[in-house]
Structure 1
Amino acid sequence: MTTIKTFLAVAAIKGWNIQQLDINNAFLHGDLEEEVYMVLPPGFKNGKPNQVCKLMRSLYGLKQASRQWNAKLTKALQVYGFQQSSADPSLFTRQTGTSFIALLVYVDDILLAGNNSVQMNDLKQSLDRDFKIKDLGNLNYFLGIEAVRTDAGINICQRKYALEILKEHGFLEAMPAKTPAVTGQKLNNTDGIPITQPEVFRRLVGKLLYLTNTRPDISYAVQQLSQFVEKPRDTHMVAAHRVLRYLKGAPGKGLFYPSNSLMKLQGFSDSDWATCVDSRKSVTGYCIFLGNSLISWKTKKQATISRSSSEAEYRALASTTCEVQWLLFLLADLKATFSTPVTLYCDNNSAIAIGENFVFHERTKHIEIDCHVVRQKINEGVVKLLAVSSQNQTADGFTKALPKPLFDKFHDKLGLQDVHAPAYGLQQSKFSSSLLLLSFIA
């Protein structure tokens, strides 16, 4: 999903035309490389006892079907002159002179973007000749994500999906909540009573996890809920219902990727030390912007216990640095390169000092070697660490439940908009002001 969002952000900035395709009966195109036999289908009249069918082509239901289809599509695209990305195998690119085409594959759904409409039409004809495609026209609805493109940029949201969740759980008429989580609340494994239908909670959390693809504002709340899917309690269900009441306030909110954004990568890294009541592990939170477009974010509990807040922040920096390096590889395949180091903002001066100091101290020698990728990338000129105040730390909302005033500031910096709201133009003006403030801070 990060690749999809990066793909759309770059296309918006460069003004590429985005088309959507669908392959008809994709799994039937795969060629089998080994012998596979199938029992005779029901109603086969001339069958003999113990007779089976030898499959010459792939069928739906075979374990090999998806792999063989992907292999055949990849081979065909390479014949067309495309190169497969090493950062993400689902991305294919082709450049001929000044013409550039990028193709993003998700099983049988394809996004096609480029600056040459003639070559894009030729490619669609080639794909239709080999696989029989369904041309869905301009990008509109992809993997449950609604996309609306205007001259100002691209807005993506999951309004239909959010409304289905609210309807399933009876929250269409609920009173909206102003924040997705109660400030200061610490969920744990002991408070409350085990619920009688845990599968309802699990299904709800699973759907909310997919909704976070366009709703970063609920990432922390959903991450907290996902820790208790094994043995959920009534307190966890109440917290999940709080998220639903928050979504009820604006189910159509989503990310906006402006077309006038600069091609500049910057990230914010944060951590909340020992926030987990049960394990005392810290939470890593980061968000990465391409210009003014939010393309990557994460809220995740750290794998090990940190002995200090500086160590927890340093581990968060390591996670952010690895994500930045991967995004640089991905953006290079999309012909977006950067001559200056990527700026990473952190609100912990001790963590910045650890990253920039090449001498091991007593407080850092117990930290795993893989965390010191921060130092390596600083030395290579890939990233540059800068201090930022906690008030201006955009990633703060990915590590803790914020009170309403701070949550509103966090929400504005993410670039969330509601294309279905009556005053959508006013939202864009407010968003532009927030972006100017963010650029000034940077």
Structure 2
Amino acid sequence: MYQHKYTLDLLDEFGLMNAKPASTPIDYTSHLSKSSRTSLDDVAPYRRLIGRLIYLTNTRPDICFAVGKLSQFLDCATTKHFQAALHVLRYLKGAPAKRVLFSTSNNLTLTAFSDSDWGACPDTRLSLSGFCFFLEKSLISWRSKKQHTVARSSAEAEYRAMALATCEGVWLSYLLKDFRIPLSRPIVMYCDNQSALHIAANPVFHERTKHIEIDCHTIRDRVQEGLIKLLPVSSTNQVADILTKSLSPKSFFSCNAKLGLINFHVPQLEGGCN
């Protein structure tokens, strides 16, 4: 599943067909906020570019974080925001044919990675949730979304991200049942926050978790009924990091490879690659 021609048309529209490719979709040393530099005289090109990039995230999960970040500035775009949006295009220039590949060999087991970035937004201090689901090795669902309320701890932010991923897992299980493919095993969900995992495993509500009681029930009920199985994962192996924060090139390449995206070049397509 890919949007090769759409990507090339987008590069051509903004005059970046001959631009030098960037290694990552967003510069991890850059800090974007609503007060970044000079406001644009005409925000229409910026809004049009972000709208086109949002559509591209349907097949390019590797740019979801960057596009989600830039879409927060549609009403107050500055020159720095526009340069960051062009940086995304320069990244796409390096691999315009990258795509999501669905393997024909599949044991129909679901695996998920859930992550959050606590207080990620410098303007609102809202945290960012991210998750991705794999049907065996095929990436089938992903999301990078800002949380609605301010989290008072990293554990709370992680737990809300797990609740969002749990709801997605429930929906995917219902979808598979509609296809008459019931899950034979629990959905294994990996999280790199030990505190969030302990809250999910503890049947007793403490005072410090009452404000996220609905999320606690959302996850715990699914764990107790056997639909979800929570497991720890190290931060270095947390695939969902790519959906919640800007990464250095080394970390980005590692997460990007684990997503299972394939970069087919035009000659391979002409050769009849499936």
TM-score by length of 1: 0.60
1:265 equivalent among 100, 106, 110: 110
Higher relative contact order (CA 8 A, sep 6+): 2
Find the aligned partners of 1:309 and 1:367 in 2 and give their Cα distance.
Answer: 13
SS at match of 1:366: helix
Q: Which amino acid aligns with 1:170?
A: G
1:433 is aligned to: none
1:193 is aligned to: 38
Say if 1:313 and 1:354 are closer, same or farther in 2 by CA, change over 3 A: same
Q: Which amino acid aligns with 2:14?
A: H
2:254 equivalent among 401, 409, 418: 409
> Cα distance, 1:368 vs. partner?
4.8
1:179 and 2:5 matched: no
Say if 1:371 and 1:206 are closer, same or farther in 2 by CA, change over 3 A: farther
Q: Where do 5+ consecutive residues of structure 1 fail to align?
A: 1-155, 429-442
1:339 is aligned to: 184
Find the aligned partners of 1:337 and 1:367 in 2 and give their Cα distance.
Answer: 31
Find the aligned partners of 2:44 and 2:213 in 1 and give their Cα distance.
Answer: 38
Higher radius of gyration, 1 or 2: 1
2:211 is aligned to: 366
SS at match of 1:367: helix
Superposed CA deviations along residues 392-442 of structure 1, whole A, max 9, x for unmatched, are 111011010111111111111111112225578xxx9xxxxxxxxxxxxxx
Q: Which amino acid aligns with 2:112?
A: G
> Cα distance, 1:370 vs. partner?
4.2
2:264 equivalent among 400, 413, 419: 419
CA contact (8 A) 2:103 2:138 kept: yes
> Cα distance, 1:260 vs. partner?
1.4
1:293 and 2:145 matched: no
Greater helix fraction, Structure 1 or Structure 2? 2
Find the aligned partners of 1:377 and 1:185 in 2 and give their Cα distance.
Answer: 39
1:133-144 correspondence runs (5 A): none
Superposed CA deviations along residues 143-196 of structure 1, whole A, max 9, x for unmatched, are xxxxxxxxxxxxx11011111111111111111001001114221011211101
1:212 is aligned to: 57
Find the aligned partners of 2:88 and 2:253 in 1 and give their Cα distance.
Answer: 16
1:316 equivalent among 152, 161, 165: 161
Say if 1:220 and 1:408 are closer, same or farther in 2 by CA, change over 3 A: same
Find the aligned partners of 2:220 and 2:105 in 1 and give their Cα distance.
Answer: 33
Count of paired positions: 270
CA contact (8 A) 2:189 2:231 kept: yes
1:107-122 correspondence runs (5 A): none
Q: Where do 5+ consecutive residues of structure 2 fail to align?
A: none
1:349 and 2:213 matched: no
CA contact (8 A) 2:114 2:240 kept: yes
2:151 is aligned to: 306
1:158 is aligned to: 3
Q: Which amino acid aligns with 1:318?
A: A
Q: Which amino acid aligns with 1:279?
A: T
Say if 1:184 and 1:376 are closer, same or farther in 2 by CA, change over 3 A: farther
Find the aligned partners of 1:395 and 1:184 in 2 and give their Cα distance.
Answer: 20
Q: How well do the aligned residues superpose, as a CA RMSD in angstroms?
A: 1.4
> Cα distance, 1:372 vs. partner?
2.8
Find the aligned partners of 1:271 and 1:176 in 2 and give their Cα distance.
Answer: 28
CA contact (8 A) 1:280 1:305 kept: yes
Q: Which amino acid aligns with 1:176?
A: P
Greater strand fraction, Structure 1 or Structure 2? 1
Q: Which amino acid aligns with 1:361?
A: H
Find the aligned partners of 1:337 and 1:228 in 2 and give their Cα distance.
Answer: 42
